[in-house]
Amino acid sequence: MTEILKFFIGLTVLTGALLSLVTAFGLIRLPDVYTRNHAASKSATLGVMLVLLGTLLYAYQDTGSFHSRLLLGIAFIFMTSPVAGHLISRAAYNSGVKLWGNSVRDDLAKHRKK
Amino acid sequence: MAFQILLNFFLAFIWMFLKTSYTPVTFLVGYFFGLLVIFTFRRFFHTRFYGYKIVAVIRLFLIFNRELFLSNLAVLKVILKPKLDIKPGIFALPTELKEDWEITILANLITLTPGTLVIDISPDNSILYVHAMDIDDIQEAIDGIKNSFEKAIMEVSR
């Protein structure tokens, strides 16, 4: 049982670290604010949540104490991260940051003009 | 809904007084019997039996988690693909939800869906402006997902 738990802990922490790394790649590679925001608001959320979950399980397995603060941290990140992504992209759009050149359509600009 | 939960607590306390034993186990047993009583008398309440609502909330939470995993896989694929052939764009998405908290939850769900991110909400709360990473292949898929989300949220709020 503990071996399975240890394997699972390693898997969650490694997956979380991998997702954070891919987020960093995405921030460098993607062309404009909005597509970068896709990478930052999704992969980073799940990456941090998985690392925290691994920490929670490790502390429980190692010392037998249940750290409920980590659980609260997971819940708060889960709730706040999409809102932060929305607010950053909205602020960028309202201050006139252009979409990437290859973008196909922009309904918001049409509706704003009316 | 809050009234039914409060009533259930009262019934549990009455059960504890009838048994003259004040332990959490007695409370839980009383709560269970109170649940059965409220379910039996459900036609006297204005709102639905609150058990259905709790099931709907749990289902919404499971959808949330599943979408989070799927969207991460989709973003991973786009970032690690050698050639960058995405077609981003902003499209308008009309919604039927009315309350502020419903629209907040819908916007959060859409943000955590594969390849979509809410940019703005129109002043009268009727249209969401969504930035999509790959607009042509995703348009119909989004409509399907959105219908399932909107339905799940309505199931909670009804």
Sequence-ordered alpha helix ranges (H) in chain B:
2-19, 24-40, 50-80, 100-111, 135-157
Reported as a pLDDT band with limits 50, 70 and 90, residue A65 is confident
Q: Report CB contact under 8 Å: B117, A34.
A: yes
Co-location of B19 and B78 in the same domain: no
Q: Do residues A20 and A28 touch, judged by C-beta distance below 8 A?
A: no
A27 contact B CB<8A: no
Rounded distance between C-alpha atoms, residue B30 and residue B15, angstroms: 5
A10 contact B CB<8A: no
ipTM over 0.85: no
Q: Report CB contact under 8 Å: A99, B90.
A: yes
Co-location of B61 and B111 in the same domain: yes
Reported as a pLDDT band with limits 50, 70 and 90, residue A114 is low
The domain containing residue A18 runs over which residues? 2-113
Residues 6+ apart with CB under 8 A from A37: A85, A88, A89, B117, B131
Number of domains in chain B: 2
Is the pLDDT at A104 greater than 70? The verdict is no
Co-location of B113 and B55 in the same domain: yes
pLDDT at B61: 86
**Helix/strand/coil for B82:** coil
Q: Report CB contact under 8 Å: A29, B84.
A: yes
Co-location of B40 and B59 in the same domain: no
Q: Locate B44 and state its tokens.
A: 């006297």
Co-location of B125 and B57 in the same domain: yes
The minimum CA-CA distance between A76 and chain B, rounded to whole Å, is: 13
Residues 6+ apart with CB under 8 A from A46: A16, A19, B68, B69, B72
Query: How many C-beta atoms surround the C-beta of residue B113 within 10 A?
Result: 24
Comparison of pLDDT for A42 and B30, the residue scoring more: B30
pLDDT at A35: 83
Section A2-14 average pLDDT: 89
Section A55-79 average pLDDT: 87
Q: Report CB contact under 8 Å: A105, B76.
A: no
Is the pLDDT at A54 greater than 70? The verdict is yes
Q: What pTM does this model have?
A: 0.78
pLDDT at A102: 61
Q: Which residues are registered as beta bridge partners of B129?
A: B92, B120
Number of domains in chain A: 1
Residues 6+ apart with CB under 8 A from B104: none
The domain containing residue B14 runs over which residues? 2-44
pLDDT at A113: 65
The minimum CA-CA distance between A65 and chain B, rounded to whole Å, is: 23
Section A86-90 average pLDDT: 88
Section A30-47 average pLDDT: 83
List per-block mean pLDDT (blocks of 10 residues) for chain B, which spans 158 residues: 89 92 92 92 86 87 83 80 76 80 85 80 82 73 74 80
Top residue of B63, B80, B111 to mutate, by most chain A CBs within 10 Å, is: B111
Top residue of A21, A35, A102, A110 to mutate, by most chain B CBs within 10 Å, is: A35
Instruction: Kindly report the average pLDDT of chain A as a whole number.
Output: 83
Is the pLDDT at A103 greater than 70? The verdict is no
In A, which residues are within 8 Å of B100 by CB distance?
none
Q: Which residues are registered as beta bridge partners of B93?
A: B128
Co-location of B133 and B94 in the same domain: yes
Q: Do residues A22 and A50 touch, judged by C-beta distance below 8 A?
A: no
Co-location of B65 and B40 in the same domain: no
Top residue of A27, A45, A79, A86 to mutate, by most chain B CBs within 10 Å, is: A86
Q: Report CB contact under 8 Å: B111, A41.
A: yes
Is the pLDDT at A107 greater than 90? The verdict is no
Q: Phi-psi category of B20—alpha, beta or left, where left has phi over 0 and alpha has psi -120 to 50?
A: left
pLDDT at B14: 93
Co-location of B56 and B112 in the same domain: yes
Is the pLDDT at A70 greater than 70? The verdict is yes
pLDDT tens, position by position, A11-30: 999 999 998 898 888 888 88
Comparison of pLDDT for A111 and B9, the residue scoring more: B9
Co-location of B38 and B9 in the same domain: yes
